Amino acid sequence: MSKPRASIYQRYIPAVTPPPEFSGSAYWLIFHSGKLLVTETEEGTGIPLVPSLEQLSMAPVRTLYLGTWEDLPCFTAEVPAESLEPEGMAFRPLRSLYEPLDEDLFHLAGKGIQMLAWDETHQFCGKCGTATELSQAEHSRSCPACGLVSYPRIAPAVITAILKDNRILLAHSPHFVNNMYGLIAGFVEPGETLEDCVQRETMEEVGIKVKNIRYFASQQWPFPHSLMVGFLADYESGDISVDGEELDHADWFSLDQLPVIPPPISIARKLIDWVVENHS
């Protein structure tokens, strides 16, 4: 089974502290209000490559080092919402950069925004309320009073392509734009395996049972802090039934007559494309 993308670590090397001897330009993933500052040129969309935020006339609320991107240091920073856009740059909602931005860079930006959110919400100890300290050895914040260590958290979720007689189950949610249809997905609950979650979410959302559950691939998803784990499964029994709230319609679609489906960068689309390629 083919994988949907190469590892981001071919271009990105994670680290906690920047090299002390470095003095040149660095890549900056700069956010405010969930928006990323990008460069916009005829060549496409990118991220700023500058020595410091001062060069952009910006004062950061918080800054974290992420490692190196294509052999140059990479930082992520949060700036005030009133920060002005430098010439040739603009703050864009991260979701809107789903396709314009390089795929690896989009996922690195996803890491950046999640790290900033974690840092913001763990300034104080959740156990005793003492101000925490940022570690210089790992991505964590520790409490000097009680010793509690807080690490960045992710929420695992499953997403499943369900097959029946060379047809695929696709579902529509009221909040989907452009009448798009997607796959069955949901967050893993305590006490569940990933396969348990596939079965439960499928039954809860569309009222059917599945079998032959097999792993496909995974994708980080920063909305807000998920890890999407993709599966394939076969229909076992039951009739489609939706609740009218989370989903308002679901059906079996022929592989040569699909509705509007998610964009290519998403693991949902990669699953659907794989099914079409291998089952048509």
Predicted confidence at residue 2, as pLDDT, reads 45
Please write the tens of the pLDDT for every residue from 169-178: 999 999 998 8
User: What is the rounded CA–CA span in Å between residue 76 and residue 26?
Assistant: 10
Residues 6 or more apart whose Cβ sits within 8 Å of residue 41: 88
- Whether 237 has a binding-site annotation, put simply, is no
Picking from 158, 162, 133, 136, the residue whose alpha carbon sits closest to that of residue 148 is 133
Residues 6 or more apart whose Cβ sits within 8 Å of residue 42: none
User: What is the rounded CA–CA span in Å between residue 183 and residue 229?
Assistant: 12
Please write the tens of the pLDDT for every residue from 40-71: 998 899 999 999 999 999 999 999 999 999 99
Pairing of strands 72-78, 26-32: parallel
Q: Is the pLDDT at 1 greater than 60, yes or no?
A: no
Q: pTM to 2 decimals? A: 0.87
User: What is the rounded CA–CA span in Å between residue 7 and residue 206?
Assistant: 33
- Whether 74 has a binding-site annotation, put simply, is no
Q: Is the pLDDT at 4 greater than 80, yes or no?
A: no
User: What is the rounded CA–CA span in Å between residue 213 and residue 265?
Assistant: 23
Predicted confidence at residue 140, as pLDDT, reads 97
- Whether 221 has a binding-site annotation, put simply, is yes
Please write the tens of the pLDDT for every residue from 217-266: 999 989 888 999 999 999 999 999 998 889 999 999 999 999 999 988 89
Inter-CA distances, 157 with 29, 145, 221, 276, Å = 26, 34, 10, 23
Q: Is the pLDDT at 3 greater than 60, yes or no?
A: no
Q: Is the pLDDT at 31 greater than 60, yes or no?
A: yes
- Whether 226 has a binding-site annotation, put simply, is yes
Predicted confidence at residue 243, as pLDDT, reads 85
- What is the signed CA dihedral for 172, 159, 157, 188, rounded to 10 degrees? 90
Q: Is the pLDDT at 159 greater than 90, yes or no?
A: yes
Which residue has better confidence, 74 or 42?
Answer: 74
Helix/strand/coil for 87: coil
Please write the tens of the pLDDT for every residue from 178-217: 899 999 999 999 999 999 999 999 999 999 999 999 999 9
Mean pLDDT, to the nearest integer, of 79-84?
Answer: 95
User: How does residue 164 score in pLDDT terms, banded at 50, 70 and 90?
Assistant: very high
- Whether 201 has a binding-site annotation, put simply, is yes
- Whether 73 has a binding-site annotation, put simply, is no
- Whether 222 has a binding-site annotation, put simply, is yes
- Whether 192 has a binding-site annotation, put simply, is no
- Whether 95 has a binding-site annotation, put simply, is yes
Please write the tens of the pLDDT for every residue from 111-151: 999 999 999 999 999 999 999 999 999 999 999 999 999 99
Please confirm whether the linkage preceding 224 is cis (ω < 30° from 0): yes
Secondary-structure percent of the chain, ordered helix, strand, coil, rounded to 5: 20, 35, 45
- Whether 125 has a binding-site annotation, put simply, is yes
Picking from 116, 153, 119, 117, the residue whose alpha carbon sits closest to that of residue 135 is 119
- Whether 52 has a binding-site annotation, put simply, is no
Predicted confidence at residue 6, as pLDDT, reads 67
- Whether 82 has a binding-site annotation, put simply, is no
- Whether 143 has a binding-site annotation, put simply, is yes
